[in-house]
Chain A
Amino acid sequence: MSTTANAVSDSFKPSLIIPWITLGIIAYFCLPWLALEYGLTDATLDEFIDALGWRNNGATIVVPLFLLLFVIVPRFVRSGRQCGWIYTCASALAILTIFAYFITANLSMGLGAAVILMALSAMFAIGIAEIGFQRGDRFIAGSVIFVILLVCVFVFYPTWTIFQTLLYNADGSFAPFQFFRIITAFGVGRVILNTLLLAMSVGAATTLFGLLFTLYATRSTSPLRYVIRVFYILPIITPPFVVGMALILLFGRAGMINDGLMFLFGPQGILLPDTFARSGYVYGFWGIFLAQTLSLTPVAYMVLNGMLATINPAMEEAALTMRAGRWETLRDVTLPLLRPGIANAFLLCMISSAADFGNPLVLGGDYDVLSTEIYFSIAGAQLDFAKASALGVLLLLLSLSVFVIQKKWVGQKSYVTVTGVQTAGNVIPLPGRLQKMLSAFVVIWLLLVGVLYFSIFLGGFVKQWGADYTLTMAHHKELWLGGFSSGAWPSFINSLIFAFIAAPITALIGILIAYIISRKSFFGKGIIDFGTVLIFAIPGTVTGVAYILAFNTPPVELTGTAVILIITMAIRAMPVGIRGGMSALSQISESLEEASVLQRASSLKTIRSVLIPLIRSTIVSSVAYSFIRSMTTVSAVIFLATAGTNVATTYILSRVESGDTGIAVAYGSILILTMLVFTLAVELITGRSRVEKQVKTNLKTV
């Protein structure tokens, strides 16, 4: 691990401490100590003033006085180390006291209190740096503290409230076996089984199809293989449940395909009368299965494609020089070497299926899975937080175990056969018959996907899908032409703004986390490591439930605000930022940083002048991808969006639930278009394959 060598100073420079203390004191006097009922932007002046610390409770005047102490202490204490200890203990004490105050008084923290806590944390970081943490590197110490705080507040704390909800009954009594009671209750077993069955089938199907597509894209000689590149873009720009909606448009009771089938095979059918009856066959297992397979196969494709690229072409050539034909080479060499990738793809798609919320919601019918069951426990009439927590814990455990399996078992077994020196090599084309069959398969698939997307766009212009196919602009008019505060605009603008704020936060924090994890070792690293595992593994639904439980009550009350949505989006997209950061940093030799340090540069300067310019393109693509993810996320925000903070995806879902298919589909199509334009614009500006690369990076295990 590289180290920085900032000398531990023997006396504090005032320029370090004064800005933070000043910030804290100003925050105390000018920003609300208590949380405002209606948020910062909607509160009246009176409410604002009432929330100020010194107006509310005179005793809180100790806070600014305490802060002043930090400035005075260095004058009386000789050595830097002693000062460091004092700082560390004092600020820790202060932070804990403030938290205790809010918790016991059952009050919610306001912006002012938050800023003061931040200033105190900075003092803590400076303190431990003086003691010798991280060799006196204040920037790293500060970053570590910051990340630990972030992880504790926004990952550990909410997760813990889920467990807490399980351990205590509604009336407050301790109930350690509530979890088991809930999951053995009637119906829950069925839900669990449904989820697992679906997940495994989808995992198997997507891996198989992904494999076929990958072989086709890299080994076939037909020009069709270039069309498969579209696979990179589709799953990114499509909100998860849109595929489900499109399937209903085509195969639902009133679906277009059904109409056609009725025409040909129904009671008055012209081809084979009375062999077909309208039914809701697309709802339930098969519908969800189809929707998820269509959505997730590109993911399996990308995993396997990445894996295939690590296989040295010389392997296959060697087999050829040993008289093996194309079939034998495929069977004996290529496929066995792909085994780790196949396992990876299976696990990844399996867990994506289990975590998927949108498609089961739209297509589920009677087929209940964990994610929808969790949603209905809270959103429906039940309001059974214990049940939601129990099921959430199950889903989380499932996801965590898959993540661990992936990391420990599959990750180790990759046969990386590309050595440093590359021999020139062509890939061996597919056996002829296989290629023909796959071509047909690819064509059918692409046709289906094409028809799906076409119907999404068409559906926005159709008066009443299934009944009245006259083209109309009514839906789009309602959405877009009613002025900026009606129709789709509020939610659309919200989505844009929130994603726009969340994306850079995600990218930067992700890179910071990646930096301190990959370059530094320190006391407390385990916390951050585990925190990042949780960030990667936690399904969206569980995040949503956890955030509702954690942030609905003091001391940190954020539900109903825009802030919580931004934070949720940031956390949901964080894996993108972290993985991108780690991948970029792994390309940069540590000796670059060491050279900078030898030139007396501080950590901050090294990061700013050496690292960031080198990984600039990763940052850009990270931000872009996070933005897209935030725009299309649904499973977590569905719990947290309110009438005032609606986002595009939740708005669409609510219109689906009220039966306004036309509007929902119209909005969905515009959302897809926006994402498509954005992706293309980013690719144009930053150079072709940035987003592709980012997507590929995100499919490697950490």
Chain B
Amino acid sequence: MKPGETNITITLKKVFKRFDEVTALDDINVVFEAGTLTTLLGPSGCGKTTLLRIISGLETVSGGDIFFGGDNVTDLSATRRDVGMVFQSYALFPHMTVEQNVGYGLGVLKTPQDKIEERVREVLDMVNLDGYQARYPDELSGGQQQRVAVARALILEPKVLLFDEPLSNIDSKLRRSMREEIRHLQQSTGITSIYVTHDQSEALAVSDEVVVMKDGRILQKGPPRSLYHRPESAFVANFIGESNVVEAVLVNGNDGHRVEIGGIDLALPRNMHIPANPGPVKLSLRPEVLHIEAKSEDKDSACLDGVVTESAYMGPIIEYSVKTAVGDLFTRGPAYETQHPKGEQVQIRIRPDEIIVIPGNGD
């Protein structure tokens, strides 16, 4: 399996899915580029798992088409679609050994036994489990079971690899290394992969592109950075990373745009993309762009006055909640600075080049 040999582009056109009265997927049009790992992200019930299962063939569409490369696979069942899937519960066959589990698909294709053994060894080696062939699933740890599940999905050299929340059942300490392994595997094999998770930091870390879904629709698709720095809606701004959403007024001045936030006036950088018209807007201020400082006597035009309402020592940082004219703002300060106690008058400095303007004038 070399990169570029088996990777294909997945295209969905006008796909929708209804379960009785409920519309689980509504007018999905999306292209998953060849060789990429795309994560479907969203709150519970947004349709990401349904979308994954539709691509796998385990669910049928109510309408629309799915293409693998140039082939229309909409009417093909999972058996025929050439996809590999890693299930949340791993779904390893408890009555078969690791070798039998991984080699199952080859057995169905009537591959000769020695070839099966050889391929199983290759694939287990890729997940660092060569030598475990004779074990049973209940003799393996969670992480090991996970890797066997991945090996089983890889062995048939599928066109598409699908991951259904593969790390939810793994303890948090192990999650990072497993995540890196999965990413590494995907990149070395180059198989187009789709990954479902509800953990957004996992999504940002692992993906080439992220798709944010809500209520059966796709809200935004793009590389992690775009989603983080250029959210196209308040929902995405809130969902990815943390944000303080405040109301402001956008003013189009002679020398560029300015925003008026709670009485202070900030100039936005010239080359900044402003996806809204002048007038009332909503801004997303990430905690890391707000700096808490002791109140100074001079009135600083880049600072909002406020009072500390919560101050919590977290070890490396201190979390603050500060009440200002535009509402309660959440921010953090390094612990090596003196902690600002509750009730203290402070000021919040805002870095203008990090302000995110939410498109659409406040949707």
How distant is the Cα of A337 from the Cα of B84 in the complex, in angstroms? 23
Q: State whether B108 touches A324 (Cβ < 8 A).
A: yes
Chain B residues with CB under 8 Å of A419's CB are 89, 169
Which A residue sits closest to B162, measured CB to CB? A321
Interface string of A356-396 (1 = CB under 8 A from B): 00000000000000000000000000000000000000000
For chain B, residues 101 to 129, give those with C-beta under 8 angstroms from any C-beta of chain A. Answer: 104-105, 108-109
A43 within 8 A of partner (CB): no
With beta carbons under 8 angstroms apart, the residue of B94, B105, B156, B164 that contacts A337 is: B94
- B109 to chain A minimum Cβ distance, whole angstroms, is 6
The stretch of B75-83, B323-331, B346-354 in contact with A is: B75-83
Chain A residues with CB under 8 Å of B308's CB are none
Q: State whether B93 touches A421 (Cβ < 8 A).
A: no
Instruction: Give the number of chain A interface residues (Cβ < 8 Å).
Output: 26
A320-B79, A321-B83 known; A423 and B108 CB under 8 Å?
A: no
Chain A residues with CB under 8 Å of B79's CB are 320-321, 323-325
Q: State whether A323 touches B94 (Cβ < 8 A).
A: no
How distant is the Cα of A323 from the Cα of B82 in the complex, in angstroms? 8
How distant is the Cα of A321 from the Cα of B104 in the complex, in angstroms? 11
With beta carbons under 8 angstroms apart, the residue of A315, A324, A337, A423 that contacts B88 is: A423
A-B contacts counted at CB < 8 A amount to 79
How distant is the Cα of A337 from the Cα of B95 in the complex, in angstroms? 7
B229 within 8 A of partner (CB): no
How distant is the Cα of A324 from the Cα of B79 in the complex, in angstroms? 6
B183 within 8 A of partner (CB): no
Instruction: Give the number of chain B interface residues (Cβ < 8 Å).
Output: 30
B56 within 8 A of partner (CB): yes
How distant is the Cα of A319 from the Cα of B108 in the complex, in angstroms? 10
Q: State whether A324 touches B91 (Cβ < 8 A).
A: no
Chain B residues with CB under 8 Å of A333's CB are 93
B31 within 8 A of partner (CB): no
- B88 to chain A minimum Cβ distance, whole angstroms, is 5
Q: State whether B49 touches A424 (Cβ < 8 A).
A: yes
Q: State whether A421 touches B89 (Cβ < 8 A).
A: yes
Q: State whether A421 touches B104 (Cβ < 8 A).
A: no
A268 within 8 A of partner (CB): no
How distant is the Cα of A339 from the Cα of B93 in the complex, in angstroms? 14
Which A residue sits closest to B149, measured CB to CB? A318
Q: State whether A321 touches B85 (Cβ < 8 A).
A: yes
Q: State whether A322 touches B94 (Cβ < 8 A).
A: no
Give the one of A312, A319, A320 with max B CB within 10 A.
A320
Interface string of A421-458 (1 = CB under 8 A from B): 10111100000000000000000000000000000000
B221 within 8 A of partner (CB): no
For chain A, residues 625 to 643, give those with C-beta under 8 angstroms from any C-beta of chain B. Answer: none
B277 within 8 A of partner (CB): no
A415 within 8 A of partner (CB): yes
A317-B78, A320-B77, A322-B156 known; A423 and B87 CB under 8 Å?
A: yes
Which A residue sits closest to B78, measured CB to CB? A320
B53 within 8 A of partner (CB): yes
Q: State whether A423 touches B164 (Cβ < 8 A).
A: yes
Q: State whether B89 touches A314 (Cβ < 8 A).
A: yes
- A411 to chain B minimum Cβ distance, whole angstroms, is 16
Chain A residues with CB under 8 Å of B152's CB are 318, 322
Interface string of B22-59 (1 = CB under 8 A from A): 00000000000000000000000000011001001011
Q: Which residue numbers of B lie inside 8 Å of A, CB to CB? A: 49-50, 53, 56, 58-59, 77-79, 83-85, 87-89, 91-95, 104-105, 108-109, 152-153, 156, 164, 168-169
26 A–B contacts, CB within 8 A, in A order: A312-B91, A314-B87, A314-B91, A315-B91, A317-B87, A317-B91, A318-B85, A318-B91, A320-B58, A320-B77, A322-B108, A322-B152, A323-B105, A324-B79, A324-B104, A325-B79, A328-B108, A333-B93, A339-B95, A417-B94, A419-B169, A423-B49, A423-B164, A424-B53, A425-B58, A426-B58
Q: Which residue numbers of A lie inside 8 Å of B, CB to CB? A: 312, 314-315, 317-325, 328, 332-333, 336-337, 339, 415, 417, 419, 421, 423-426
